[in-house]
């Protein structure tokens, strides 16, 4: 016999006489973990089948009332899973006995039996689970299993149950981003309550009502096209709890969505100078995109079919003109879809003032419309630094907004906000810009422009009390000169 530390001196040991008496329990060659005061036998509390279809795997989980002796719990001979076979009757010659491999963690109350389906697959039908307790399954205090549940140790646990039968579901076909819905039906020969669930391999977002069996799924853009095998499981509440299943094939068709061109701003180019830039676009299906130009493209303009690189060198005959150009992008889906956008190119020359918007002289901030905001920008510039000549950059018209020279004389003076106001009076202003805006600014400068009578007088430019689009027009009309004017101050 060895002491607690596992050491013994055999040379001095005497012979031992060991007599087995009734009620003896072999708890294994390890430290006793139970209690000598424990006389309550363990029982089977629950047993159920856990199955996955993709990949195929079956386990029988057995729940006991207390922890078991580890050696007993891990002994495969203590368990038997039997199927009724083709004739549906247990105990005759065509029964199928499945090989099982127990897993048990010391101190737990659950044994997991891995079912080997290599010789015979689990099919819906009648099954019987036996847990042998007459002489082998014991708890940690060596109490044998109370298999028959009569309160007395001993006896095998034997339970038979019919697995649910799940009706086949027809194949489903749908477009991506639409919803497929169907009901799964099942029956149970024992009248057990049934619970529906999806195999873990089901696509993301797929759901099934656990009580009614109603399935729903909306495949995303990325999930089409594709073919999906969805396994639906139905579990009963019998002992052991068993599972039936069916596999539904769902085909998701691709639905082509049009590509989208990124915005293309209006361009300015000098005659004889090559204009180049890159068109870009996105496609929901991430397909191959092809760029092209519309029928209104000017002579000599090109765009790379794959790259989207635009190139054009206008000649002198187009100086002072604005050309509309349409860019088209087409995908390779079925059917082929496209998107297009039209932008403007203003052609200038060396004599063009670099501080004037070639697309619209009165559009100071370059937003595509004319409003009192444009006049106010000029007034602020006059207040800040006064009237002045504007520098000429080496490569006009490469000057970003604001364009401070609506009058085109290469200088900033009160004439420039007046040019904007006159454009508003003529109705060329953009709708909606700065609607409800209130401005009350004025500035005074000595003018030498011959359009101001008489030259050399101190002039005042004022834009104030502008409330909405109608008020802006009134503010610059002849009947409201006090609200928007170039006037001589006496």
Quote the CA–CA distance of 394 and 458 in Å, as a whole number: 33
Are 238 and 195 within one domain? yes
Residues 147 and 178 in one domain: no
Asked whether residue 266 falls in the same domain as residue 244, the answer is no
Domain that holds residue 399: 372-427
Give domain status of residue 455, yes or no: no
473 within a domain of the structure (yes/no):
no
Pair (292, 315) in one structural domain: yes
Distance CA 340, CA 303 (A): 13
80 in a structural domain: yes
- Res 197: pLDDT: 97
In a domain, 342, yes or no: yes
Angle at 99 (CA atoms; ends 97, 102), nearest 5 degrees: 130
The answer to the question of residue 465 being in a domain is no
What is the pLDDT at residue 258?
95
The pLDDT of residue 255: 92
pLDDT at position 476 is 41
- Residues 130, 141, single domain; the answer is yes
Q: What is the pLDDT of residue 315?
A: 94
Give the pLDDT of residue 294: 96
The answer to whether residue 7 is domain-embedded is: no
Give phi and psi for 486, each to the nearest 5: -115, 105
Judge if 269 and 328 occupy the same domain: yes
Residue 288 lies in a domain: yes
Q: Are residues 284 and 305 in the same domain?
A: yes
Which two tokens mark 260? 């989208």
Distances (CA, A) of 290 to 185, 260, 275, 351: 49, 12, 21, 38
Q: Which of 162, 192, 222 is the last residue of a domain?
A: 162
First to last CA, the chain: 128
CATH of the domain at 300: 2.60.40.10
Residues 320 and 382 in one domain: no
Query: What is the rounded distance in angstroms from the CA atom of residue 478 to the CA atom of residue 466?
Result: 16
> Which stretches of the chain drop beneath a pLDDT of 50?
1-6, 29-31, 396, 430-490
Query: What's the structural domain count of the chain?
Result: 4
Strands annotated E in 209-321: 214-217, 226-236, 243-253, 260-261, 267-270, 275-278, 281-282, 290-293, 302-303, 309-312
Q: Which helix (H) or strand (E) holds 425?
A: helix 415-425
CATH of the domain at 150: 2.60.40.1220
Whether residues 289 and 329 share a domain: the answer is yes
Helix (H, G, I), strand (E, B) or coil at 372: helix
Which residues fall within 8 angstroms of residue 90, CB to CB, at 6 or more apart?
82, 84, 126, 128, 160
Q: Is 114 found in the same domain as 171? A: no
Residues 280 and 243 in one domain: no
Final residue of a domain: which of 116, 136, 162?
Answer: 162
pLDDT for the residue numbered 215: 98
Instruction: Assess whether 204 and 277 both reside in one domain.
Output: no
pLDDT score recorded for residue 87: 86
Last residue within a domain, chosen from 289, 313, 348:
348
49 inside domain: yes
């Amino acid at each position: 016999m060895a002491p607690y530390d596992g050491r013994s001196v055999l040379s001095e040991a005497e012979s031992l006489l060991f007599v087995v008496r009734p009620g003896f329990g072999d708890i294994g060659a390890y430290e006793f973990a139970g209690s000598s005061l424990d006389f309550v036998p363990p029982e089977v509390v629950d047993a159920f089948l856990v199955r996955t279809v993709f990949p195929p795997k079956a386990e029988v989980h057995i729940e006991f009332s207390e922890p078991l002796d580890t050696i007993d719990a891990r002994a495969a001979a203590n368990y038997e899973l039997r199927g009724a076979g083709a004739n549906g009757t247990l105990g005759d010659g065509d029964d199928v006995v499945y090989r099982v491999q127990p897993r048990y963690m010391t101190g737990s109350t659950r044994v997991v039996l891995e079912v080997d389906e290599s010789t015979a697959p689990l099919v819906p039908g009648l099954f019987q689970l036996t847990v042998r307790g007459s002489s082998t399954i014991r708890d940690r205090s060596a109490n044998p299993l109370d298999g028959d549940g009569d309160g007395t140790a001993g006896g095998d646990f034997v339970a038979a149950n019919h697995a649910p039968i799940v009706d086949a579901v027809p194949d489903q076909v749908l477009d991506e981003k639409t919803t497929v819905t169907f009901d799964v039906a099942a029956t149970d020969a024992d009248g057990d309550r049934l619970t529906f669930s999806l195999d873990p391999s089901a696509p993301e977002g797929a759901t099934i009502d656990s009580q009614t069996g109603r399935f729903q799924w909306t495949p995303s853009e990325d999930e089409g096209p594709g073919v999906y095998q969805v396994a639906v499981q139905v579990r009963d509440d019998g002992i052991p709890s068993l599972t039936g299943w069916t596999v539904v094939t769902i085909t998701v068709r691709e639905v082509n969505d049009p590509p989208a061109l990124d915005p293309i701003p209006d361009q300015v180019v000098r005659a004889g100078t090559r204009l180049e830039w890159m068109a870009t676009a996105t496609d929901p299906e991430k397909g191959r995109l092809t760029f092209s130009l519309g029928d209104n493209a000017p002579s000599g303009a090109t765009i790379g079919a794959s790259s989207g690189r635009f190139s054009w060198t206008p000649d002198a005959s187009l100086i002072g003109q604005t050309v509309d150009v349409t860019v088209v992008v087409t995908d390779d889906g079925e059917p082929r879809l496209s998107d297009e956008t039209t932008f403007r190119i203003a052609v200038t020359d060396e004599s063009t003032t670099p501080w004037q918007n070639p697309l619209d002289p009165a559009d100071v901030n370059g937003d595509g419309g004319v409003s009192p905001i444009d006049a106010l920008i000029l007034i602020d510039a006059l207040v800040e630094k006064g009237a002045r000549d504007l520098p000429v950059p080496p490569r006009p018209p490469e000057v970003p907004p604001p364009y401070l020279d609506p009058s085109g004389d290469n200088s900033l003076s009160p004439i420039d906000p007046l040019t904007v106001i006159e454009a508003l009076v003529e109705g060329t202003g953009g709708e909606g810009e700065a609607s409800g805006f209130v401005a009350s600014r004025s500035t005074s400068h000595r003018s030498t422009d011959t359009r101001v009578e008489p030259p050399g007088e101190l002039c005042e430019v004022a834009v104030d009390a502008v409330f909405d689009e109608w008020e802006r027009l009134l503010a610059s009309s002849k009947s409201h000169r006090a609200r928007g004017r170039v006037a001589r101050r006496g």
